Structure 1
């Protein structure tokens, strides 16, 4: 039995340095749990001469990936480079070299996860990716192991810490979007280019990974309906609060006999719903199982050490498999054919904020539009703050299809008495 396992670490940024720190500081614990020591043999970096705050020897660092892949003493590759192109190539090359891979790369796993898992199966290698979703929350392991005997019907949650931080500041401290984004950037929660976060793309990639695992079917990024924070209009958060709701950028995924639906968008949650109270950079995911019912997983969704903890957890799992000679023995075959719902098969309640001319009969005409499209209204409120430019009507529907919502929105915008549909949101959690 091996008494030493060597790691090839690809990348030494925020997460990579965190992984190195955990492996160095927890050697005694790891040896106790595994019966073998775990050490970093080589680290791939772009700049060999960059000054780094680490106790690793300088000769551990290399800028040549091939020296790591061709080293027979390196057992496991840990990819924390970020990006897509180079990272995907490095994972492929590692698997073809017969080395198990641990990655934190949600972008690669969302875009190419299926083919990489198939490549891992062909080469009898592990490919573990716990840290790709939820930072320090053990979501992937829960879906693959803890809830493996159950049938997951839906999951919903906050999977992007940057947008949740921004919305928390906007609600509780009345910050503008721009000021909240600036603070998120200063604290390191947002990238210099925050578009992937605020436009919902980061969350969409994570939902692709979660939905594929939960439903054992192929889910592609193109299958995800995406709306970002830019869809939120001035006054929307205050209106939500007025009606007893909190706005969160939420991911949701459901599967039934009609197929799968996945979405990322700003959503109204009742203030009594647990997701409404998840604040700042924290993430939380609700999972609905036929047998277990509702379960919720909560924790830090970003940051060096939470993410590094998930990466290291996967390293421990890969080490155990290696020591037991069962690495690459878990097949990754999808159980169900890909079947994606159309807009007529997706149902929810909707909040509509409508700017109308302040004229007699407008309310009657608008309610007739909803009725003509088979939509019943749960709430109808006329905003008392009228102006020279008109008035606002707030409608909250009972459950309707997304297609009904779209058809109503189109007709409203073509109605002479309507100045514009200012904003609209799905209403969840009731």
Structure 2
């Protein structure tokens, strides 16, 4: 049986998972491909670092060129993360005729179209399923299984770290910072958790989903992004009392007049399917004009789930190499719709109204907000000086104007902090 030779960049969480899967399930994988998979070389920063893996140290190198320039290596797998070094490795490998598999959401959310063009020019396969939602095969579903649909909406929980934090805050009545510190210790967050907490990680995934789902180029810079750093335990408790949960949602919509891409904390009714997705799990909800509504659910991160997505790409490319099938790329840009600004949109909003003194009765609050262009859908008196309010659908720009003018009507003890509501 012939070999498919692999060069692996990175032996961290995902890289270790790939090695473990190849070790345990190598025979199954080889039987499916018709050739044996051989991990010929692994590039790491420190070849002498202690690792809990059964590896022949002779395949380790710290020199990228040992993989890039090795004519026997068929497929390069990049799981080092980051942008600059990974981009150079992938581009050099493509120019040397090597097929590419990556888990790099940061890179493909910014340069996916550029790298795809380079792969096309060189006639090599390029897949990056593991870049979004770990072990959930969402990109292949969009690219292949749902090809007969116009995808109208993609929405989901695509960052397990923030979902873990919000779940624990809700279930255990914990403050954000307390959960963040524990999440770091448990490995759910990096030492610098800003990419997760500020929504950037989810925004990168949202850009990739929108590009593939709508065949319309979207980059990270296009995505309206707001993270969970301002979400308090008080917000969660009040939302709970009103029948809602708070989740960090990534949403992409394919509208007639343009593309909506946004990541922000969102109130979901308790009976919404995404409201039950807890801890580090991910879920992506799709609407297609033919299939209707469908949802994908599973582990969105971790060594083996993400490694499984990489292996799926590896099997697919290896079979195509063996059967001499031409490459088919994830990024197919047929459309050129504009990205709609958040100020062009309308939402229902949740906010707390904290009044210093002389708190009016509910009807008076409705009248005051109505005079400022805000219609109330639900109001909940929390205590002597506080209301929890959910509005009817309101243009974003009108809500901003309301926030600027409310102090002329009521004496507030704190600024209004809104959370958008999924209706």
User: Normalising TM by the smaller chain, what interval?
Assistant: over 0.9
Spell out, residue by residue over 1:342-396, the C-alpha distance to the aligned partner (whole angstroms, 9 max, x if none).
334322211121112333768677545643554422123333x22xxxx123321
Q: 1:330 deviation in Å?
A: 4.0
TM-score of the superposed pair, with normalisation by structure 1: 0.94
Query: Quick one: distance in 2 between partners of 1:258 and 1:19?
Result: 42
Unaligned runs of 5+ residues in structure 2 are none
The answer for the alignment partner of 2:96 in structure 1 is 97
Which residues of 2 match residues 26-65 of structure 1 at below 5 A? 26-65=25-64
Query: Quick one: distance in 2 between partners of 1:331 and 1:345?
Result: 29
1:400 maps to which of 389, 394, 407: 394
1:410 maps to which of 400, 404, 407: 404
1:419 maps to which of 397, 413, 421: 413
The answer for the alignment partner of 2:257 in structure 1 is 258
The answer for the alignment partner of 1:357 in structure 2 is 356
The answer for the alignment partner of 1:138 in structure 2 is 137
Q: Which piece of structure 1 moves more, 220-229 or 37-46?
A: 220-229
TM-score of the superposed pair, with normalisation by structure 2: 0.95
The answer for the alignment partner of 1:273 in structure 2 is 272
Q: Residues 360 and 70 from structure 1, CA distance in 2 versus in 1: closer, same or farther, beyond 3 angstroms?
A: closer
The answer for the alignment partner of 1:312 in structure 2 is 311
Query: Quick one: distance in 1 between partners of 2:269 and 2:330?
Result: 40
Query: Quick one: distance in 1 between partners of 2:58 and 2:360?
Result: 79
Which residues of 2 match residues 70-149 of structure 1 at below 5 A? 70-149=69-148
Q: 1:327 deviation in Å?
A: 4.2
The answer for the alignment partner of 1:230 in structure 2 is 229
Which residues of 2 match residues 158-177 of structure 1 at below 5 A? 158-177=157-176
Q: Residues 317 and 193 from structure 1, CA distance in 2 versus in 1: closer, same or farther, beyond 3 angstroms?
A: same
Query: Quick one: distance in 2 between partners of 1:206 and 1:300?
Result: 15
Q: Is the 8 A contact 1:158 1:250 kept in 2?
A: yes
Query: Quick one: distance in 2 between partners of 1:329 and 1:342?
Result: 32
Q: Is the 8 A contact 1:413 1:419 kept in 2?
A: no
Q: Residues 80 and 413 from structure 1, CA distance in 2 versus in 1: closer, same or farther, beyond 3 angstroms?
A: farther
Q: Is the 8 A contact 1:380 1:395 kept in 2?
A: yes
Unaligned runs of 5+ residues in structure 1 are none
Q: 1:133 deviation in Å?
A: 0.7
Query: Quick one: distance in 2 between partners of 1:342 and 1:184?
Result: 33
Spell out, residue by residue over 1:234-266, the C-alpha distance to the aligned partner (whole angstroms, 9 max, x if none).
411110011000011111111111211111111
Q: 1:125 deviation in Å?
A: 1.1
Q: 1:89 deviation in Å?
A: 0.9
Q: 1:417 deviation in Å?
A: 2.5
Q: Is the 8 A contact 2:156 2:284 kept in 1?
A: yes
Query: Quick one: distance in 1 between partners of 2:369 and 2:308?
Result: 50
Q: Is the 8 A contact 2:212 2:331 kept in 1?
A: no
SS at match of 1:137: coil
SS at match of 2:274: helix
Aligned residues: 423
Query: Quick one: distance in 2 between partners of 1:374 and 1:420?
Result: 21
Q: 1:213 deviation in Å?
A: 0.9
Spell out, residue by residue over 1:21-69, the C-alpha distance to the aligned partner (whole angstroms, 9 max, x if none).
2112222111211111111011001112222222221111111111211
